[in-house]
Amino acid sequence: MKALHIGPQERLAAALAGDLVAVNGLIRDRMASRHAPRIPEVTAHLVEAGGKRLRPMLTLAAARMCGYAGTDHIKLAATVEFIHTATLLHDDVVDESERRRGRPTANLLWDNKSSVLVGDYLFARSFQLMVETGSLRVLDILSNAAATIAEGEVLQLTAARNLATDEDVYLRVVRGKTAALFSAATEAGAVIAGAPDAVVQALHGYGDALGIAFQIADDLLDYGGTEAAIGKNTGDDFRERKVTLPVIKAVARATPEERAFWLRVIEKGDQRDGDLAEARRIMARHGATEAARNEAMLWAGRAKAALDAAPAHPLRADLHDLADYVVARLL
């Protein structure tokens, strides 16, 4: 009988099972509202929709790997999940998305106002939780991450639909909207455990590189993945006219005719039947997809290298393999 392969996310979840139960219990407790029942309705729709709790697991794993034996890492992991959920609620309104984690988005089932206001509530709850740890350093890390995420989302608004957006701007967007929370999650876990500064910085670097690899992979899957793999409609980035890494690389190598195509579909928004397929053909023709895939692999390698300075612990191997896992979807 063939052995069942268990991936690094599943191994992390198994190793942190007790902590995750506590995190989920805290999330359910803190998303409640005595006066506004819509808050837990909207929150539960997203929180309990099958998300893998990747970001909170990074906090839990970092803390445990650094020898932490207290309970404040549970509060920090719940904080990270609340920040993440709040950004998803806001994102789906901004992007006018219709699917998230394989289900209709909250703004589609309720309305934009509910999504925005519940997102605001979750941000407020996240700050209450992080303050309860009594660590000003942790508060500094996570509050800065929240500000960086918001800044990254605004930057993406100006970078989208603009073919002048280059790889440097794209990286700033990705560091803001995605990697900031990954790196804050791992860094906060190390800080609450009292880890040495060198270890704290190493785990920050791991989270940063992992988040960048994760987002590049996500952007690539929008052009070549399946809805089951990414939990949302494929082609959404194209329809929303986002200038992501595979588009940037394709535009940089485009012929005059191809550049006219990108101008029409991205900057002018004149999209027609067959345009998404044509975009994929142009990317393949110039090796743009392969080049973006190589970038994702490069960042995954940097994430693994950052772990060299982390404490020897069984969870370190799982985090190492997780870096390969986030880009394995591209192979």
Alpha-carbon distance of 38 to 136, in angstroms, equals 32
User: 3-class DSSP state for residue 53?
Assistant: coil
248 pLDDT exceeds 80? yes
Give the pLDDT confidence of 24-45 residue by residue, as tens digits. 999 889 888 888 888 877 777 7
101 pLDDT exceeds 60? no
The answer to whether the CB of 216 falls within 8 A of the CB of 292 is yes
Higher pLDDT, 165 or 234: 165
pLDDT band at 231 (very low <50, low <70, confident <90, very high): low
Please state which of the ranges 77-91, 136-150, 183-197, 264-278 shows the lowest mean pLDDT.
77-91
User: 3-class DSSP state for residue 97?
Assistant: coil
Give the pLDDT confidence of 208-229 residue by residue, as tens digits. 999 999 999 999 998 975 554 4
Alpha-carbon distance of 137 to 197, in angstroms, equals 12
Quote the mean pLDDT of the chain. 89
Q: What is the pLDDT of residue 1?
A: 40
Contacts of 192 (CB under 8 A, 6+ apart): 63, 68, 70, 72, 73, 76, 133, 135, 138
Give the pLDDT confidence of 152-176 residue by residue, as tens digits. 988 988 888 899 999 999 999 999 9
pLDDT band at 91 (very low <50, low <70, confident <90, very high): confident
Write phi, then psi, for 86 (nearest 5 degrees): -60, -45
Closest listed residue to residue 215, CA positions, set 87, 109, 65: 87
Domain 8-328, what fold?
Answer: Farnesyl Diphosphate Synthase (1.10.600)
The per-residue b/e assignment along 116-131, b for 16 or more CB within 10 angstroms, e otherwise, is bbbbebbbebbbebbb
User: 3-class DSSP state for residue 103?
Assistant: strand
DSSP structural state of residue 34:
S
Identify residue 3 by its one-letter amino acid code.
A
Alpha-carbon distance of 154 to 151, in angstroms, equals 5
User: 3-class DSSP state for residue 104?
Assistant: strand
Give the pLDDT confidence of 109-160 residue by residue, as tens digits. 567 887 888 889 889 999 999 999 999 999 999 999 999 999 998 898 888 8
Q: What is the pLDDT of residue 3?
A: 45
pLDDT band at 2 (very low <50, low <70, confident <90, very high): very low
For 299-323, what is the mean pLDDT? 96
312 pLDDT exceeds 90? yes
Helices (H), 225-313: 227-230, 236-239, 245-252, 256-262, 275-285, 288-306
